[in-house]
Amino acid sequence: MPPKVGILAGGGDLPERLVDACRAAGRDVFVITFDGAAEYGDLGDTPHASVRLGAVGKTLKLLHGEGCEEVILAGPIRRPNLKSLRPDLRGARLLPRILAAKGDDALLTTIVEELEGDGFRVVGADDLLPHLLAAVGELGRVTPGDDERRDIAQGAQVLRALGPYDVGQAAIVSAGYVLGIEAAEGTEALIARIASIKPPGRAGVLVKLPKPGQDRRVDLPAIGEATVAQCAAAGLAGIAVESGGVLVIDQDRAVAAADAAGLFLAGIEAATP
Amino acid sequence: MPPKVGILAGGGDLPERLVDACRAAGRDVFVITFDGAAEYGDLGDTPHASVRLGAVGKTLKLLHGEGCEEVILAGPIRRPNLKSLRPDLRGARLLPRILAAKGDDALLTTIVEELEGDGFRVVGADDLLPHLLAAVGELGRVTPGDDERRDIAQGAQVLRALGPYDVGQAAIVSAGYVLGIEAAEGTEALIARIASIKPPGRAGVLVKLPKPGQDRRVDLPAIGEATVAQCAAAGLAGIAVESGGVLVIDQDRAVAAADAAGLFLAGIEAATP
């Protein structure tokens, strides 16, 4: 029997999709949500518990008690402020390393090391959902034009230049002009602010890549139907993601939404190292 | 007698400061504002005219007619959409090059070439206001701590990595974490969105540099009292700008505002090429 998976759930659709994927594969799951760290939907009859983000000891105890052997970190979590963190004993011991972690990658590495130190195998969402990784080429019916292909290449160059600095998973480029770069605000806020400064009409390309060298088990970027809807509403021409490096959640629905809105949705080759 | 200066005015305090500086130096000025391209204050008795941004022929004719020998481009201008541009004959001839210009630098270079082709000398705001260029070191009484110096260095690294891509004049970094990078939205929008995602308390450093290789005559970054007030309201700890590469408008008032709010205002060394 395949080992039971503990899902440490952040926001977005990813946790729910992982639960579906595990069930379809006959794997048992246990979901842990974190108070105030994200908006969670109704988990229905999925076995789950909710803990404070600072309750590291309780989280590990729950995972052991439920017999989980593998753990998956799924979806973004809001950085808590210290006041609301209220760590338990184990959390307090971890706190100095959490506070010393510079950037998202370092923070997630700390969490992975803690889980591995307790005997869990940390697996990636792409291990459970490999069919949702973007392929190379157009995923839908709409094809980017030459200008848009240049914008995609420019966006990818900008993001790769930022690679060493643990920042930047997305950029929006239009007609050779970099309109926006994502840092800590998230892709949704990036798209929202571009709507008012982009050229009128269907223009501008959202480019989303994994950061070079990031641990894909813990921070694989993802887009979904909601991303497509937001780009369509903002008047963008399309979305390009790194093939094999970005999950397209609900891929059928996301592609259908892009087709309906006249947006392209394309997978681009990963950079050769 | 020093030659008369034509000021092509964009937004912010810079055009007004240039008028003051010219008057103090006994130089005649003529200001051209552009319909809908920026918010303009009351120009009082300063000789001026307002034209459409697309009226390139009229703009050049005004500058010649007023006997301007030097021209200065001052302050940011909103990119017009094609519909509101309504070019005159000369503007229509320039339009293909304007549309082909990739990014701000290329666009401004096109404008400078057109002015130079008509016999004007294009000068920089720093030629007229050299005393407003930031010096090296603290400009006010507050001193950045070691952590903040590291954040400043990191912000400068990120901006320099973006140099080849004609994007990024400012970033906000806090405790080793890049919270935001400015692209087309402007520094004001960058600071505004950081307020809600930064750690609580006085934290985070705004770093502002000229783009490497940019033509300083036409796009010298500037901060002023309003920038200091906005950073104070957002809860940032301070501002660092490249010495000799960023204008601090109303420097006395900006420094006084930083001192009063407990923010540092520091000039950092330019990168050695």
B87-100 pLDDT, tens per residue? 888 888 888 887 77
What phi and psi values does residue A52 have, to the nearest 5 degrees? -70, 145
Q: Distances in Å between the alpha carbon of A177 and those of A18, A247, B96, B165, B271?
A: 37, 26, 16, 9, 25
Closest CA to A172 of A145, A203, A201, A215: A203
pLDDT in tens, A100-138: 776 666 677 788 888 999 999 999 888 888 888 888 999
Asked if B102's CB is within 8 angstroms of A176's CB, the reply is: yes
**Measured between CB atoms, which of A167, A177, A184 is closest to B102?**
A177
Would you state the pLDDT for residue A18?
Answer: 86
Q: How many CB atoms lie within 10 A of CB A227?
A: 25
Would you state the pLDDT for residue A231?
Answer: 97
Q: How many CB atoms lie within 10 A of CB B143?
A: 12
Packing angle, helices B103-117 and B56-65, rounded to 10: 50
Q: How many CB atoms lie within 10 A of CB A39?
A: 8
What phi and psi values does residue A209 have, to the nearest 5 degrees? -130, 155
Who wins on pLDDT, A125 or A147?
A147
In this structure, which amino acid lies at residue A78?
A: R
pLDDT in tens, B63-114: 999 999 999 988 777 666 666 678 888 888 888 887 777 666 667 778 888 8
Q: Could you tell me whether strands B137-138 and B264-268 are parallel, antiparallel, or unpaired per DSSP bridges?
A: antiparallel
> By three-state DSSP, how is residue B208 classified?
strand
Q: What is the pTM of this model?
A: 0.82
**Measured between CB atoms, which of A102, A178, A184 is closest to B165?**
A178
- Is the CB of residue A138 less than 8 Å from the CB of residue A258? no
Asked if B197's CB is within 8 angstroms of A81's CB, the reply is: no
The number of C-alpha atoms within 13 Å of B222 and in the hemisphere containing its C-beta is: 30
Would you state the pLDDT for residue B65?
Answer: 96
Residue A49 has pLDDT above 80, yes or no: yes
The answer to whether A181 faces chain B, any CB pair under 8 Å, is yes
- Ramachandran region of residue A68, left (φ > 0), alpha (ψ -120 to 50) or beta? beta
With tokens 């339009």, the residue in question is B95
- In A, minimum Cα distance to B175 occurs at A102
Asked if A200's CB is within 8 angstroms of B81's CB, the reply is: yes
Residue B146 has pLDDT above 90, yes or no: yes
Who wins on pLDDT, A263 or B135?
A263
- In B, minimum Cα distance to A177 occurs at B103
Q: How confident is the model at residue B186 (pLDDT cuts 50, 70, 90)?
A: confident
- Is the CB of residue A175 less than 8 Å from the CB of residue A147? yes
Q: Encoding tokens for residue A171?
A: 């950029």
Closest CA to B242 of B164, B140, B155: B155
Would you state the pLDDT for residue A16?
Answer: 85
Would you state the pLDDT for residue B192?
Answer: 95
Who wins on pLDDT, A269 or A103?
A269
Would you state the pLDDT for residue A214?
Answer: 67
Residue B148 has pLDDT above 90, yes or no: yes
The answer to whether A183 faces chain B, any CB pair under 8 Å, is yes
Residue A148 has pLDDT above 90, yes or no: yes
Q: For residue A178, what is the enclosing H or E element?
A: strand A177-181
Q: How confident is the model at residue B35 (pLDDT cuts 50, 70, 90)?
A: confident
User: How much is the mean pLDDT over chain B?
Assistant: 88
Q: How confident is the model at residue A272 (pLDDT cuts 50, 70, 90)?
A: low
Who wins on pLDDT, A176 or A39?
A176
Window B:190-229, CB contacts with A under 8 Å: 193-194, 197, 199-200
